[in-house]
Structure 1
């Protein structure tokens, strides 16, 4: 094995780098989302750290290259990889709590959490090259072979993380597994202090099982449990409705809000904005067929089936794991009038040939917006999916006016360019339109002016929350070619 030990070392190091980077994105996601800012900071910091590691590693190798030293570098990299598992909450909740700008928060958190292990892993390749070269006549071949193996390891790590271990194990357990892999690798390079490193290895391996046990214990004691899916870091937890004091079960994919919430003592809707979907009754009272993009825990689709006994609903949800969790924790049941499609919402719209009376778009959470669903072209596809009297209701997180209204302005322009009538209803605090909150954007395919009052008391109260100010088109329209959605949302969250 020693003959190929350096080749194994650079391959494993390359694998760990890419798994660590992809897992890093999931570690950050619940706190800062998965915006372009987060990915830019993560990729930039890791590449900068690797570059610095290459530079320092080359100089260290020329001075004192040895298997012993390389073993210590690998061992320390293993310790560095596991640090984010212990300090992430301190970093995000204590230090970054004072940062409202996602771009700076993402950059600082990436530096704190990911720069040290990436720097140490960057040292490995030049160090291995120096140890491998015995004859300058074939030095080029040796360098090429080792860097090819490192890149092959990175490719393997990319597929391994994305297709297998992230959905299977979850972030914290993967971090411990990466650290254990590096510490085990150091055993073959470094002979001294064997018992010390054996203790660390056993600690890391046992931590994987301890984390699983703690997750189950936490759920039994607090009703809170976390899951990794191919698309989200999901937390399910019990809570109390702030307005009514009633017990709730909640699903969240970020720290800013809840993507689904359900009363445990009744069938009525807990999330205030979902009640505004009743506006579909007012603007298209004879609707029979509804499309909903974004299912999450399927709270509203279940309510819809109870409320509208003769109507059907198709739900497009990109994440099959969320559907499975909805079945297990939120009482989702099969129904002949409910059709579930696991697909990207925009991809579904592009292929769709059905006509719907109502489209409900609930795919925009508080920090991560699928830009492909926010564009003018997406609005056009929604229009094509609607009947002549159809209506679309889009749940948006934004302010109605002021500096936090960027996303609403851009979305309003996109829908106004396609639909003859577009209305905005301020959901949570209509008396504070400058406040970030849920806003229900309603676009009507019919050019006929709607009546903005109702004999139904609840519907009439919703209609009275129509925003009557002027939505200024101060932003460029979002299109498939120009979609700075993350930039707009960073302003919304200021």
Structure 2
């Protein structure tokens, strides 16, 4: 159940950050269709690479500890969006005159790495949940259903409420904080399970 919660939260954060991307780029590059085309392209490419890397990583003794570390890395890589976003946008805006390519480069600089890491979570979640090949399809379907549900809710909540109530940087810091807390929880649970397995051997 805990892994499903984490998958839901990662989906929520991915779409929340993607929607914020439009607001972050708008003051420099506008909000026309090619701006959103740049953002969506970067997110799709990043997620596809993340799925590939997450699937490969999950074949090497998958554990909740590593899963938690992925969440922590995602939390850390989100922070530059708030901390250096303004400066990065200004730098790219001054360097590239064409708003199409400027927005594409800016999207890559800000969102590529955190989205790749967030994309790693879905295949890794499947690996942690699947115990036998017979249940793999059902578990993968359920996990992607929950993750996509999180993405849908992240889209609605961010666009309908969060963006109206809070500053963009506050939202980004909140996403980072939530991911970091979940990552720490995963690591703590992993350590607790390890201790439980060791205790009987000392009796």
Q: TM-score, normalised by structure 1?
A: 0.38
SS at match of 1:162: helix
Is contact 2:63–2:128 with CA below 8 Å preserved after alignment?
Answer: yes
Is contact 2:12–2:155 with CA below 8 Å preserved after alignment?
Answer: yes
Bigger proportion of residues as helix: 2
1:98 corresponds to which of 95, 99, 124: 95
Q: Report 1:102-251 matches (<5 A).
A: 102-191=99-188
The alignment status of 1:69 with 2:46, answered yes or no, reads no
Deviations 1:368-392 (A, max 9, x none): xxxxxxxxxxxxxxxxxxxxxxxxx
Q: Provide the C-alpha distance between the structure 2 equivalents of 1:131 and 1:102, rounded to a whole number of angstroms.
A: 42
Structure 2 counterpart of 1:47: 44
Structure 2 counterpart of 1:29: 26
When the two chains are superposed, the root-mean-square deviation of aligned CA atoms in Å is: 1.4
Structure 2 counterpart of 1:327: none
Q: Report 1:299-338 matches (<5 A).
A: none
Is contact 2:93–2:102 with CA below 8 Å preserved after alignment?
Answer: yes
Q: Provide the C-alpha distance between the structure 1 equivalents of 2:89 and 2:122, rounded to a whole number of angstroms.
A: 32
The number of equivalent residue pairs is: 190
Is contact 2:28–2:93 with CA below 8 Å preserved after alignment?
Answer: no
Shift of 1:95: 3.6
Shift of 1:16: 0.3
Runs of 4+ in structure 1 deviating by more than 2 angstroms, as ranges, are none
The alignment status of 1:10 with 2:12, answered yes or no, reads no
Shift of 1:137: 1.3
Deviations 1:392-442 (A, max 9, x none): xxxxxxxxxxxxxxxxxxxxxxxxxxxxxxxxxxxxxxxxxxxxxxxxxxx
Deviations 1:151-205 (A, max 9, x none): 000000011011110011021110001001101111211139xxxxxxxxxxxxx
Q: Provide the C-alpha distance between the structure 1 equivalents of 2:8 and 2:76, rounded to a whole number of angstroms.
A: 19
Q: Provide the C-alpha distance between the structure 1 equivalents of 2:152 and 2:95, rounded to a whole number of angstroms.
A: 37
Q: Provide the C-alpha distance between the structure 1 equivalents of 2:89 and 2:140, rounded to a whole number of angstroms.
A: 40
SS at match of 1:63: coil
Q: Provide the C-alpha distance between the structure 2 equivalents of 1:60 and 1:49, rounded to a whole number of angstroms.
A: 16
SS at match of 1:34: coil
Q: Provide the C-alpha distance between the structure 1 equivalents of 2:58 and 2:9, rounded to a whole number of angstroms.
A: 19
Q: Provide the C-alpha distance between the structure 2 equivalents of 1:8 and 1:159, rounded to a whole number of angstroms.
A: 18
Larger radius of gyration: 1
Gaps of 5+ in 1: 193-494
Gaps of 5+ in 2: 190-203
SS at match of 2:88: helix
Q: Provide the C-alpha distance between the structure 1 equivalents of 2:130 and 2:95, rounded to a whole number of angstroms.
A: 50
Shift of 1:63: 1.5
- Does 1 or 2 have the higher relative contact order (CA < 8 Å, sep 6+)? 2
Bigger proportion of residues as strand: 1
Shift of 1:141: 0.5
Is contact 2:92–2:105 with CA below 8 Å preserved after alignment?
Answer: no
